Structure 1
Amino acid sequence: MLTSSNANKKRTPNRLSQHLDVLLFSRTRLEGIKQRRAMWTDKQRGIRLSQHELLCKNSCGYYGNPAWQGFCSKCWRERVRPAEARRLDTRESGEVTTPTFSKFEEKKNMEKGRRINTMRRLFWGGPSPPKQPSDSQMNALKAFQKLEPGDFTGFLKTLRSPSCQRLQSRCTAFLNTMEAYHALQVQKQSDLVQDFYQSFAEYFTSFSEAELTRTMEHVEKLIMTRLHKWVFCHDSCDDEQKDLTLQRRIRSLNWVTPQMLSVPFPEMQSTITGDPFLPAITAIIEMDAKRAPQDKLVCVSKCSQHVFEALSTSNSEPANADDFLSALVYVVLKANPPRLHSNMQYVIRFGLPQSLMAGESGYYFTNLSCAVAFIEKLDGRSLNLSPEEFEGYMRRGRAPAAASGVQAAACETRHLLDELMSRQERLDHGVDALNVQLQTWVQAVHAQIDQATSQLALVQEEVTDISLSASSSTSSDSAEIEHLILTDEHVGSPDTDC
């Protein structure tokens, strides 16, 4: 009994220790799960942007833009213009006492009315809005409706017709006015151009939405192609300095790899050689060569479509919005487009509002703006790097991760060269074997020809012998016949005498 009780006392601490070990093991396992979950969330952090974050903060349903602090162009102008009016009013008043609210409203209405009359005088030749179009003008409107998308030459021909002389004169007057006052602030020039779009669109109120958009795109191309040299990268703004800053920032991030941005990229064993995003890089670089804002948006749309094509070839699954934004960031970092900030601001200031607020072009441009904003605020946490690693890459104190990519590309190139050399050797061996076979065939053909020639000679000799023997036998037969005839004549003569 004593021994059994002692044994139970000894087993009890062992059981407790086992329970403690199990608890410690489960605790460490839970901590490991938490750490892995935290690492997974860090890896999944990347560039995440929901569809709701792309829309306007005012919940109007249109796309916002970081350049407008998340608002669309319409809501942004509604917020900015009253602030500018108040600022101008306080600047004009100077040290004078603050006017009352009624005087402020009166002055605001007078300023608004003066501005509207000025714009109407510029566009329509008088303070009154455009009248109802005549029959000739209705025919011209029908001609505008029949234009195909992108038929800018047809639009110019229609605009130069006699029935559209009023519209042409208004465009010419506006262009001359803008060129004469090219020293104005760029924001005022933007307001004038947007007001011109709005007032010019009133002439096409009978058009459908698609027809109006198509016509106004032609009008935008006509106006901004002439005004590009006056308003692009204007002296009154700091677009040029921001271009240089953004260019230096992108150049300093040339070590960023697609794996850091979680961009689906083809593996080394795949059949895809080279960078699949090269067409997208080319398209975004071409944006600086265009003059009209609509043409620049076309380059952005083309770049985005190439990005989706590259993602579809690099990944078996369909690309989502997060992959698209990450790939667009990678394209911008690799391309480093010239005057990117100035081009984007030019589109924002002088492009049609409906092109930026809705449709594919608005969606793609909003994503491009988000990609540029992400690059400007890029840090180690966005790339799943520690601050020390990020600073090391930025200061070039560490070997950039792109070096491994360069080495991999060099190895791949060396492998391709070796494969080409082996193919060349196999091709040389095949050519040599083909030459040997060709020579053997030629010799065999010559031997057959010689054999056929010799056989032909033998046949000809046999034929000659046969012909000679036949001729000799024929001559002997004829001699015998003649002899028999003569003999018969000699024998038969006495009978005749008798």
Structure 2
Amino acid sequence: MEAAMRDHPLWTTASEEDIDCAMEGLEKYIMIKLFSRTFSATPEDAKIDYEISEKISLLQTFLKPEHLDIPPIHQIEASLLLAEKELLKINAFKAPHEKLLSILNCCRVINNVLLNVAMSEHVPAGADDFLPMLIYVTIKASPLGNKTFCWANPPKLHSNLKFIKLFRRQAKLVSEAEYYYTNLVSATSFIVDLNAKSLSMDEIKFEESMQAAKLINKVTNESSSTCQMSQQQNNECSCSEKMPHKPDATGVFQVLQHGSNYPYMEAKSKGLTVGDVDVLLSDYKDLVSKYTIMCKAISCLSTSEREPLLRQIEKQSAGTLLSQHAGINTATHQHN
């Protein structure tokens, strides 16, 4: 098409910049018009998108930079959040050029972090540092306001990458653009195949974290689905008794059972040591996670539905709480 444009009499006097701008505009116009027919066009694409999104949503709940061997000097939260924000823009556009630009902006932020750290710390910035950070950003990318609930992530990641590969002008998918695009493809492949051996993480701990993440996502997704159905009918978050997938006491109770028994519940500050900080922080995060899930699961129930659920949870939890309390007393005496 570009060759035909160059040969046309109307474009014989056009500059390279004019032709390039015209081709960009033409690509954008055509692909926006054909977007619904060309983006995620097959059931196979939708299936792969779902599997990747599901895998990322599980990893989001527990993955930390150290699991990918990202050194502390590269863990600059503000920059990582900016990179995540840029990547999330990919699904807001319909033109291949704009989708690719989202990837470029994300990767440039990461690259700037590496360059700045290299200059300030007088250490070389290696290509081996870039991919782990891109993998981490891809997994952690989540729309603001949803991180603690549905762990949403870059939607239709496979379809976006495929769309860019098929419909972005090949003359533009070179150099920096090709390098960053290829890295995101590699990051996506790594995530798909990721297991305990892929991370600096104990295999048993990895499996436990994945199972806990599945349980947490099940409870939150049920709650989200219930509220969304209710909002469509009543324009408010009150779930009907006839609606399926209600958050039940068993599911919420399983979430409460998972995790720490809080051995420091009755400990005194004078008896704590520096070595206790990691455990305390882990317990704090576990408690906040459970509190958030409970709030989300219960907040969309009406009063008549909420009270029986709470009574059932209280009844199921009573025995466990008593045994945990006994364990806390034992641990406290041993600690002291």
Residue 322 of structure 1 and its aligned partner are, at CA, apart by 1.2
Cα deviation for residue 306 of structure 1 reads 0.5
Alpha-carbon separation, structure 2, partners of 1:277 and 1:363: 20
The TM-score normalised by the length of structure 2 is 0.54
Q: State the one-letter code of the partner of 1:247.
A: S
Query: Deviations 1:114-146 (Å, cap 9, x if unpaired)?
Result: xxxxxxxxx8xxxxx979957xx25x3323534
What is the letter of the counterpart of residue 349 of structure 1? Answer: L
Percent same amino acid among aligned pairs? 30
Give the superposition deviation at 1:283.
Answer: 0.4
Number of aligned residue pairs: give it. Answer: 207
Tell me, what secondary structure is at the counterpart of 1:276? helix
- Whole-Å separation in 2 of the counterparts to 1:131 and 1:300: 29
User: C-alpha separation between the residues in 1 aligned to 2:5 and 2:96?
Assistant: 30
Give the letter for the 1:345 counterpart: K
Give the whole-Å Cα distance in 2 for the aligned partners of 1:313 and 1:322: 16
Match of 2:16 among 124, 130, 145: 145
Identify the residue that residue 342 of structure 1 maps to in structure 2: 159
Check 1:365–1:398 CA distance in 2 against 1; reply closer, same or farther (3 A cut): farther
Output the CA distance in 1 between the equivalents of 2:113 and 2:74: 13
Q: Hey, what's the Cα distance between the residues in 2 that align with 1:231 and 1:304? A: 26
Give 1:239's match in structure 2, choosing from 42, 45, 48.
45
Partner Cα separation in structure 1 for residue 15 and residue 280 of structure 2: 54
* Whole-Å separation in 1 of the counterparts to 2:51 and 2:23: 34
Q: Does the residue aligned with 1:328 lie in a helix, a strand or coil? A: helix
- Residue 319 of structure 1 deviates from its aligned partner by 2.5
Which residue does 1:331 correspond to in 2? 137
Aligned CA distance change for structure 1 residues 240 and 309 (closer, same or farther; 3 Å): same
Contact 1:144 1:215 in 2 (8 A): no
Identify unmatched segments of 5+ residues in structure 1.
1-122, 124-128, 148-210, 412-498
CA contact (8 A) 1:264 1:314 kept: no
Q: Map 1:159-170 to 2 at 5 A.
A: none
* Larger displacement relative to structure 2 (237-246 or 324-333): 237-246
Indicate the residue corresponding to 2:188 in structure 1: 372
How many Å separate the matches in 1 of 2:105 and 2:33?
24
Q: How far does residue 250 in structure 1 lie from its aligned partner after superposition?
A: 0.4
Q: Match for residue 311 of structure 1?
A: 114
Root-mean-square deviation (Å)? 3.3
Partners of 1:226 and 1:267 in 2: CA distance:
42
Kept in 2, the 8 Å contact 1:281–1:303? The answer is yes
Which residue of 2 is the match for residue 217 of structure 1? 24
Larger radius of gyration: 1
Other-structure match for 2:200:
384
User: Counterparts of 1:240 and 1:312 in 2: how far apart (Å)?
Assistant: 37
Partner of 1:362: 178
Indicate if the aligned counterparts of 2:66 and 2:200 stay in contact, CA closer than 8 A.
Answer: no
Work out which of the residue numbers 278, 281, 289 in structure 1 matches 2:81: 278
Work out which structure has the larger RCO, using CA pairs closer than 8 Å and 6 or more positions apart in sequence.
2
Q: Which runs of 5+ in 2 are unaligned?
A: 142-152, 213-257, 261-276, 286-336
Cα distance, 1:216 vs. partner?
Answer: 3.4
Q: Give the equivalent residue in structure 2 for 1:248.
A: 54
Cα 1:146–1:327 shift into 2, 3 Å: closer
Measure, in 2, the Cα distance between the counterparts of 1:281 and 1:325.
14
What's 2:94 paired with? 291
Deviations 1:383-421 (A, max 9, x none): 13343232122122666xxx959939x89xxxxxxxxxx
TM-score, reference length from structure 1: 0.37
